[in-house]
Amino acid sequence: MKIVTLVYPGVTPLDLVGPLQVWSSWPGAHVEIAARTLDPLATDTVMQIVPTHTYTTAAADPDILFVPGGTDGTLAAIADDGLLAFVRDRGGRAGWVTSVCTGALVLGAAGLLRGYESTTHWLVLDELKRFGARPVKARWVIDRNRAAGGGVSAGIDFGLALMARIVGEDHARMTQLAIEYAPDPPFRSGTPDEARPETREAVRSAFRGFVSALDQMTAVLADDK
């Protein structure tokens, strides 16, 4: 099982680490973390990520291509022709093409979601339409050989769902228990439907600049296509 995961400056670590922690128990898995160079990459936290492979050395025909998300980092990623060429190339040959959070927009910009159901962070879900995808408001979505998780923490759910689909529910259940994944948040505030109106507005306000910039960028990309 060859898993190639893309990383880029400004990526959100939990988008990446959530699924990889789940997949660490995947029988026979070989995981490659691919970037333009092998230099350590800054994330949107104080954490850095050290790639294991470059665009050139990453597996040419992965069983799973995985793209995590971010905010400003994602904006740069979908404007990076070299990065999109890598995603398009590997995605065209991968058994599964997958993402978490705004990683779905990178897949969309690479032309890999047209005609597929997908999901992403709730703030930018409708942006998927610009790339010919069908947005689904869900924690995770699997449509044929495309799989996507919602925002950030949904990567764990997505990782377990994909594992169950490929190697069976029994192994995925065992993995869930092994990592003691039993969410019990202190507040019912993890979705826009659950959150208080003032909380929703505070989050929208905090990310208004990012959402506006993303909307302008995807409009341009959609016009170019």
CATH assignment at residue 56: 3.40.50.880
| Residue 132: closest CA among 213, 225, 6 | 225
pLDDT digits (tens, 9 = 90+) for 104-154: 999 999 999 999 999 999 999 999 999 999 999 999 999 999 999 999 999
Q: What is the mean pLDDT of the chain?
A: 96
- Structure confidence at residue 164 (pLDDT): 98
Is pLDDT above 80 for 222?
A: no
Number of structural domains in the chain: 1
Three-state DSSP class for residue 83: helix
Q: Which of 68-72, 200-204, 218-222 has the lowest mean pLDDT?
A: 218-222
Is pLDDT above 70 for 96?
A: yes
Selected catalytic residue, list 11, 101, 104, 110: 101
**Could you tell me the pTM of the whole model?**
0.96
| Residue 44: closest CA among 64, 21, 17 | 17
Which residue range is the domain that position 63 belongs to?
Answer: 2-224
Is pLDDT above 60 for 225?
A: no
- Structure confidence at residue 224 (pLDDT): 64
pLDDT digits (tens, 9 = 90+) for 152-208: 999 999 999 999 999 999 999 999 999 999 999 999 999 999 999 999 999 999 999
| Residue 62: closest CA among 37, 36, 30 | 30
Three-state DSSP class for residue 74: helix
101 an active-site residue?
yes
